[in-house]
Structure 1
C-alpha cells in the first residue's frame, strides 16, 4: 500500500509533463486570434487536469476504489499502472504501456500533432497574404486545428481516463464546434463570397471521400 501511494504525490512531475505537452502543442499551433487562444486554453486545462491525476492525486481511482476492488480484487487499484483503466478493465494487465489502448492513444496523439504541424504554416501564410487558406489539409477540411485537438484529447482519454476529463471531453468538443462557427462568421464578414464558396466546397471537420473520377480529373 505504501509503495502504491508513493507512486503519486509527484506534483513537480505532473507540472513538468503538463508544461511539456502544452508547450509542445503551442510550438505546432502558435495561436494568433482570440479564438485560437480560447481553444488552446481549453486544451491546456484538459492537460493540467489529466496530469494532476496521473502523477498528483488519483481522484478517479479513490472515488471508484470500492467498486473496482470488489469487481477486480486481483488488481492493486492504488498502483500507478492501474490508472490505465481501459487496459485493466479489458484484461491487458501484464504491461499496460504496451496494451492496445495505450498504443492507439499514441497513434491518435501523433496524428493530432502532425495535423497541427501541417496546418499551421498554411494558415500563417494565408493570414499574412490576407486570403482564405485553401491548400494542403485546408483543401480537405476547414478546421484542422480543432480536429487535431480532438485527436490528441481522445488519445489522452484512451491512455488515462479520469472522471474529470471524461466529463470535460464532450464539453470541449462542443466548445470547439462553437469556436469554429464563430471563426466562420468572422471569415464570412472579412472574405465574403470567397469564404462562402469555400464553405460549400470543403467540409468543416470530416473530409469527404475522394471519388475515383476526381483523382482522374486531377491527372488530366
Structure 2
C-alpha cells in the first residue's frame, strides 16, 4: 500500500460525529437523566472513534514500531491501514470490502434497528402506564442498551483503536449498572409482574430457544 496520509481532517471528525450522534438521537430520543447519561457515553465513544479515523491516528502512532516490523509492506499512515483487522489478517484488496468491515455494518445496522424498535415499544408502554414486554422486549429486558453495545462493537470491528477498546468494556459495565437501576425502579412500580418478567426474559443475551422461534413470554399485568 502506498497512499498519502488521510489524517488531520478535523472537519470530517466534526461532521461524522454530529451526523452519527444526531442519527442515534433520532432512534433513542433520550428524556430522563439516565437516558442522557447513556446517550452521552455513546456519543463520547463516537467522537473518540472519529478523532482517530480522520484526525490523529493515535493507535497507529503508538503501535507503529511493532506494525512496521511485522507488516513492512503496509503504509500504516494511510487511511485504509486504519482498518487494522483487515491489514493484520492479510486482506489484500480494498479493506472496505473486507470481512470485518462488512460484518461491522451488520452489527451497526442491527444495533440502530434494535434501538429504534425498542424505543417505540417502550414509549407505547409508558403511555399506557404498563410494562414493555412485547417486540424486542420479548427477547431481552434491555434491548436499547444491547443496541448501543452492538453499534459500538460494530465500530470496533471496522476501526479498532486503543482508546475505544478501553472505553468499550467501561461503557458495557456502565450500561449494565444503568439497567440494574432501572430494574430496581421497575420492581417498585410493577412488583411481582416485573419479578415474573425478570424470571422469564434474560437481561442482555437472548435465549437460543427464543431466537429459534420458541414461544414468547406471557403478558404481565396490563402489559
TM-score calculated relative to the size of structure 1: 0.93
Distance 2:127 2:45 in 1: 31
Give the drift of 1:213: 10
Aligned equivalent of 1:93: 92
Local SS of the residue matching 2:152: helix
Spell out the pairing of 1:65-76 with structure 2 (5 A cutoff).
Answer: 65-76=64-75
The alpha carbon displacement at 1:214 in A equals 5.2
* Contact 2:3–2:75, Cα closer than 8 Å, also in 1: no
The one-character-per-residue Cα deviations of 1:160-213 (angstroms, maximum 9, x if unpaired) are 000000111111111111111011011111221221121111111111233799
Residue 116 (structure 1) aligns with: 115
Is the Cα contact below 8 Å between 2:17 and 2:50 reproduced in 1? yes
What displacement does 1:4 show? 2.8
Give the equivalent residue in structure 2 for 1:151: 150
Distance 1:132 1:33 in 2: 17
Question: Is 1:4 matched with 2:4?
Answer: yes
Match of 2:188 in 1: 189
After TM superposition, the structure 1 = structure 2 runs for residues 1-220 of structure 1, keeping only pairs within 5 Å, are 4-5=4-5, 7-210=6-209, 215=215
User: Distance between the aligned counterparts of 1:176 and 1:183, measured in 2?
Assistant: 10
What RMSD over aligned residues (CA atoms) do the two structures have, in Å?
2.0
SS at match of 1:4: coil
Deviations 1:27-47 (A, max 9, x none): 011112222111111100000
Whose helix fraction is larger, Structure 1's or Structure 2's?
Answer: 1
Q: How many angstroms apart in 2 are the aligned matches of 1:116 and 1:165?
A: 21
Measured against aligned partners, the alpha-carbon deviations of 1:65-96 in whole angstroms (never above 9, x if no partner) come to 11111111100000000000000000003110
Query: Quick check: 10-19 or 190-199, which moved more?
Result: 190-199
Structure 2 gap ranges (5+): 219-223
Q: How big is each residue's C-alpha offset from its partner over 1:84-141, in whole Å with a ceiling of 9 and x where there is no partner? A: 0000000003110000000000000011011011111110011111111011111111
Matched residues in 2 for 1:158 and 1:214: separation? 31
Secondary structure of 1:69's match? helix
